[in-house]
Amino acid sequence: MRFLFLLILLAGTGIGVVYPWAMTNFSGHEIGTWRVYEQGRFKPVTVPLAARDAPVRVLVDLTARAERIVVSQQRTVLTLTAAAGGRTVLAATLQFTHSENPRQVSPQLPDKIFRDEAGLIATVGPGPYTFTVGPGDAEGIEMRAVDLVLRSGVGEIDSRARPVGFSLMAAGLIGLLLALRFGGRGRPQNPNSQPPAPRWGRGSN
């Protein structure tokens, strides 16, 4: 049973964690990276996109002097909007709170790079797209730089993956803990584990 529950736990991790992460970071190909914040200033960037780029996943890399980003659910670290042809095609708020394993800029520097996903532009009309990143209302985050990352032709994450994966992870973990706790009870004792009966003297047969 332990092996079965371990398999369920691993399957849940693959579906709920590894699969969305791989789809976000590795599916499709990268269009490019643009610096949108540096030396205390935000600046919009305009990127020409083609219809063949669709769908386009919009990611934001935040370089900050922190081990992790901690903000309340009502706080926003950054905001992002994308506009084309005079209309907004994407608007998002970014918190970076799920970045458990940020990338390190350099072994000599304390800065870490946190990534968050702003969203997906499913349909792309050919032409320039203007991306505007701005500050949120979260405080106490020492931002060094912010980069906009666009990936083209990415696969869309199945919305059922995370709930199913987390449910399997919970079931596998609970089952594994119960199996470890109660697995040894009720088993017959090994007769070889008992000392042999005396052959002579008191208590002999």
Does any domain span residue 162?
A: yes
Q: Is the peptide bond before 128 cis (omega within 30 degrees of 0)?
A: no
Q: Is residue 193 part of a domain?
A: no
Residues 55 and 40 in one domain: yes
In this structure, the answer to whether residues 42 and 8 fall within a common structural domain is: no
Clarify whether residues 63 and 49 are in a common domain.
yes
What pLDDT is stored for residue 89 in this prediction? Answer: 97
Query: What domain count does the chain have?
Result: 2
- Residues 60 and 140 reside in one and the same domain: yes
Would the pLDDT of 63 be above 90?
yes
For residues 147-158, average pLDDT:
78
Q: Based on the domain organization, do 14 and 60 belong to the same domain? A: no
Q: Do residues 172 and 114 share a domain?
A: no
CA–CA separation, 169 and 28 (whole Å): 28
CA distance 147 to 143: 11
Residues 48 and 141 both lie in one domain: yes
**Full residue range of the structural domain in which residue 168 is found:** 1-27+158-184
35 inside domain: yes
* pLDDT tier for residue 44 given thresholds of 50, 70 and 90: very high
Domain membership of residue 198 (yes or no) is: no
Do 36 and 123 fall within a single domain?
Answer: yes
- Measured from the Cβ of residue 204, the count of other Cβ atoms closer than 10 Å reads 8
Q: Return d(Cα 82, Cα 121) in angstroms, integer.
A: 9
**Per DSSP, what are the bridge partners of residue 92?**
80
Q: d(Cα 40, Cα 51) in Å, to the nearest integer?
A: 34
Residue 146 inside a domain? The answer is yes
Place of tokens 């666009």: 150
Residue 47 has pLDDT above 70, yes or no: yes
Same domain, 165 and 148: no
CATH of the domain at 48: 2.60.120
Closest-CA residue to 162 (of 60, 13, 23, 58): 13
User: pLDDT tens digits, residue range 106-136?
Assistant: 877 889 999 999 999 999 999 999 999 999 9
Of all residues in the chain, the percent with pLDDT exceeding 70 is 77
Residue 38 pLDDT class (50, 70, 90 cuts): very high
Q: Do 100 and 116 fall within a single domain?
A: yes
Nearest by Cα to 157 from 52, 9, 16: 16
* Confidence bin at 170 (pLDDT 50/70/90): confident
Does residue 64 sit in the same domain as residue 76?
A: yes
**Do residues 57 and 107 share a domain?**
yes
Any domain includes 197: no
